[in-house]
Amino acid sequence: MVYAINTSNTGYSHNFNNQNAISRPQMRSSYYETHYPLYQCDWTGIRGSHTSRIALSSYREDTTNRLQVVYSFPETNLPYESDPNVPIDRSKIEGLDMHKIAEISVNFPVTKLQWDPSMSLGTSQTERLATASECLRIYELSGRPEGGNGPFRLVERVALSNSKTKNLNQLPPLTSFDWCVADPKQIITCSIDTTCTLWDLSKGVARTQLIAHDSEVFDVKFLYGDKNVFSSCSSDGSIRVFDLRSLEHSTIIYEPQIKSSASSVAPSPIAYNPSQSSSTSPGLKPTPLLRLATSNYNANHIAAVEAHGSRVIVLDLRYPGIPIRILSHHQAPINSIEWHPTKNWLLTGSDDCQAFVYDLSNLDIPRSSSKSDQSPAQDGKSMETNSTGGTSSASTHRSSRRSKTADLFDNSLTELPAYAYSEDSEINNVTWDVDGQWAGVVSGKGFQAIKIE
């Protein structure tokens, strides 16, 4: 079995390197390998089923990309092996045996894929998978039931695009999407054309489209447990929060800091140096924010990654404007971040060939409880949008809020990773299994499952 190292008793310093992580045997357990370089992944399960489902996609700069579905079977001597109706204690699983059960060709690299959240919630037995590339596609896994005969097939059910252009080769690429857990009929997509689009899957139509940022939108996520509020990040360096019930306004909860000689803002106690940003002087382009993840444990927590950056910015919606944590233990650009399904743990994967798990359960409590009830709309930078989503005006009450926010926290020390894992090549993507007892990493041509203990 492959484990991640628990770093709590190892005395790790700030510099994590490959020899600190586990060494793998030549015959890798809980491992699946393909014939082509992999990029995207997602992991889920169906309630009552002993097998889990892993979706994988390739990344090639041509029209010969692949989309695969892999079934993962638990390796254990528990009674369920002879009686499929016996519930399985997933903590007793010793390893995973993974086999491809379906595969199709796709023309373009998949920028994001995600299983239907209804599957793990137990509200649907239909195995659906969404992908983003030049458009949003919904696939259905059809074929034999478990234990039956005959092949599985991955069937495209619908392709959705809100562009007037009918030529798929000319569509602005979708950069990401999020399938709403609170309402699985909804998917929201984002694109390089600066827009976010909300889709109603029950009707196969776009409910609304808005201009969300001033430049390309790179990622979008619903807040935990909410079907109306979502957040996005962009090439303009900002993170914004929108409410579908009131799209005339949005809230900027983070944007790059700009130096001003007239500013009287006190230095922040957080380990955050604005001079490290390429956007600290007027006239310089902001550092793009490439990835965004919303916590499944605390709806106020959002993590983001800068393009070509080796640190993770952690924000609290109640205190917009400045990160409450900067996680900077990777030594190369971070490619993927993913929150644990039920805990405030954050999984990261990087070009330094390492994956870390950060335990953020004990983020600092504000010193002053009197300010803890302030909402993002009160404290963030408010934006107004017109009916088509275009930005029409913006308020600028910002500088005084920065000093207040900074004073609430004592974040001069950052958490070390609780777990560390090392690969032989760059880690392109990370994911969790449905209950968070296993993490998955995509590196090179393989997918490695790692038990977290």
> Tens digits of per-residue pLDDT, 420-430?
999 999 999 99
Q: CATH homologous superfamily of domain 29-80+93-257+271-362+376-451?
A: YVTN repeat-like/Quinoprotein amine dehydrogenase (2.130.10.10)
Least confident of 14-18, 128-132, 140-144, 355-359: 14-18
Q: Give the pLDDT band of residue 21 (cuts 50, 70, 90).
A: very low
pLDDT of residue 373: 39
Does the structure show a pLDDT above 90 at 85? no
Mean pLDDT of 211-230: 96
Structure confidence at residue 92 (pLDDT): 72
- Model confidence at 389, pLDDT cuts 50, 70, 90, reads very low
**Cβ–Cβ < 8 Å for 196, 188:** yes
pLDDT at 69 over 90: yes
Neighbours of 155 (CB within 10 A): 13
Q: Of 23, 4, 7, which Cα lies nearest the Cα of 15?
A: 7
Q: What is the mean pLDDT of residues 258-278?
A: 36
Residue 25 pLDDT greater than 50, yes or no? no
CA pair distance 173, 402, nearest whole angstrom: 35
DSSP 370: G
pLDDT at 144 over 80: no
Name the pLDDT band for 286 (thresholds 50, 70, 90).
Answer: confident
- pLDDT reported for residue 77: 61
Q: Mean pLDDT over residues 407-428, rounded?
A: 78
What does the DSSP 8-state code read for residue 387?
A: T
When pLDDT is cut at 50, 70 and 90, the band that residue 91 belongs to is low
Tens digit of each residue's pLDDT (9 = 90 or more) over 336-382: 999 999 999 999 999 999 999 999 998 755 434 333 333 333 344 54
- pLDDT exceeds 80 at position 80: no
Most confident of 9-18, 41-50, 62-71, 234-243: 234-243
Where is pLDDT greater, at 304 or 363? 304
In this model, does residue 383 exceed pLDDT 90? no
- Residue-range domain boundaries for the chain: 29-80+93-257+271-362+376-451
Q: Please say if the pLDDT value at position 174 is more than 90.
A: yes
Is the predicted pLDDT of residue 392 greater than 90, yes or no? no
Tokens of 449: 């499952």
User: What is the spatial distance between Cα 436 and Cα 52, in angstroms, rounded to a whole number?
Assistant: 12
Question: Percentage of the chain surpassing pLDDT 90?
Answer: 60
Mean pLDDT of all residues in 23-35: 77
Q: What is the pTM of this model?
A: 0.81
Grade residue 79 by pLDDT with cuts at 50, 70 and 90. low
User: What does pLDDT average to over the chain?
Assistant: 80
Using pLDDT thresholds of 50, 70 and 90, give the confidence band for residue 93.
Answer: confident
Phi, psi of 428 (to 5 degrees): -90, -30
Distance CA 62, CA 126 (A): 31
